[in-house]
Structure 1
Amino acid sequence: MKQSLGAKTLLFPTPVLMVGTYDAAGTPNLMTAAWGGICCSEPPCVAVSLRRARHSYDSIVARKAFTVGVANGAYMAEADYAGIASGRNADKFAVAGLTVVGSDLVDAPYAEEFPLVLECRLVHTLELGIHTQFIGEIVDVKADRDALGGDGLPDILRMQPLVYDTAHKGYHAVGPLLGKAFSIGKKFL
């Protein structure tokens, strides 16, 4: 029998997303967000939810663009730092030793060190209680060559993306393939 835990943000896992923006002064900023993910296939879109108080909030609204990097275990401390420090008070790229790369396609930066980056043009905003969901159309995906598999697509085990445990506030890695999607369930057809 299941036990009621009440209305909470308990969904497992959530991604560790590195949101890149330029602020009003043109300073690159990076923040960590766990409230986000793919939200549309055609056109390809990603959603990230931020509180209005976050430094990145006004930057996304003003620039109509953001990037989403996928953090991995090699940069776990840097990703955590970007989520606990404010870009109002520190140059998070410099402090964390991350390399700023300006997108050629959208008005936002990303960190070279993260193995996968989505470059996004803001297409919608949705007010949701204390968060605003920003929906960005993905105009390009960039990946490190060593993160790609033999098929030329990102390989989750090569990337080793961080995932976040909302209940215990911990970072985890992904494990081995358990089954092929759109295949394993065919035994019930």
Structure 2
Amino acid sequence: MFSQIDLEYFYRLLHPRPVVLVAVKDENGKVNFMSCSWITPVSEDPPLIALAISHESYTREVILKKKEFTVNIPSMQLLEEVWIAGTTSGKKVDKVKETGVEVEDARNISAPIILKSIGYLECRLKDYVEAGECTLIIAEVVAAYAKEGTFARGIWKLEKASPLLHVGSVYFTTANRYLVKPASLKKKRS
């Protein structure tokens, strides 16, 4: 038996989801970042991601003007910063001062990285589509980095770094253990 969910919460059936900090630098050199959990890879070749950002977002404005941004992957250590970044506007608040995060320029683009992140993607705007109250940003990933010792053979080492996940509302969690492969996969490989 299934219970019907109010459509106001339909997207929460797709949670928990990774939450990231999208960071930009405007034409005056001001750094801003926002929390985003509506993000997904959409292509491996070329490497593309898509993220949905509110029309009211200052970060969105800067992305559309500067055409570059970083996607910073936080762990639980950045929970407070993630919360502040998702509940305040860069139009009104200097989030770097408010949170005290340390930033530096990315290696290949003119956007900043958040140093306490466990990894980050350097992205260039490829296209965008207006979708309801959001803009769907499609970006090419030009470089990807992880803190040394936290990522190997294409997966996070969860004992070293556990990406933060947004459950919904004020709730967050982390992935802190691996589950074993299903038995059906083990039989096929034998």
Fold match by TM threshold 0.5: yes
Equivalent residue number for residue 171 of structure 1: 172
Q: Distance in 1 between matches of 2:127 and 2:146?
A: 25
Equivalent residue number for residue 2 of structure 2: 2
SS state at 2:81 partner = helix
Unaligned runs of 5+ in 1: none
Does the alignment pair 1:79 with 2:82?
A: yes
Correspondent of 2:117 among 114, 119, 124: 114
Is this contact kept in 1: 2:126–2:139, CA < 8 A? Answer: yes
Does the alignment pair 1:130 with 2:133?
A: yes
Letter in 1 for 2:100: G
Pair 1:45–1:152, CA change in 2 (3 A): closer
Q: CA deviation at 1:41?
A: 1.2
Q: CA deviation at 1:24?
A: 3.4
Is this contact kept in 1: 2:156–2:162, CA < 8 A? Answer: no
Q: Distance in 1 between matches of 2:155 and 2:17?
A: 21
Equivalent residue number for residue 36 of structure 1: 39
Hey, which bits of structure 1, 4+ residues long, moved more than 4 A? none
Coordinate RMSD, CA, aligned: 2.0
Number of matched residues? 185
Pair 1:185–1:133, CA change in 2 (3 A): farther
Equivalent residue number for residue 13 of structure 1: 16
Does the alignment pair 1:26 with 2:29?
A: yes
Equivalent residue number for residue 160 of structure 1: 162
Q: Distance in 1 between matches of 2:31 and 2:58?
A: 11
Does the alignment pair 1:64 with 2:67?
A: yes
Is this contact kept in 1: 2:31–2:112, CA < 8 A? Answer: yes
Unaligned runs of 5+ in 2: none
TM-score after normalising by structure 2: 0.88
Q: Distance in 2 between matches of 1:125 and 1:185?
A: 40
Is this contact kept in 2: 1:67–1:120, CA < 8 A? Answer: yes
Quick check: 77-86 or 90-99, which moved more?
90-99
Q: Distance in 2 between matches of 1:157 and 1:163?
A: 16
Q: Distance in 1 between matches of 2:53 and 2:6?
A: 23
Q: CA deviation at 1:91?
A: 1.9
1:127-182 Cα offsets, whole Å, 9 max, x none, are 11111111111111111113234x4864244221110112x4311011311124xx
Letter in 2 for 1:65: E
Is this contact kept in 2: 1:23–1:58, CA < 8 A? Answer: no
Q: Distance in 1 between matches of 2:173 and 2:145?
A: 23
1:51-87 Cα offsets, whole Å, 9 max, x none, are 1111101100001111101111011111111111221
SS state at 1:2 partner = coil
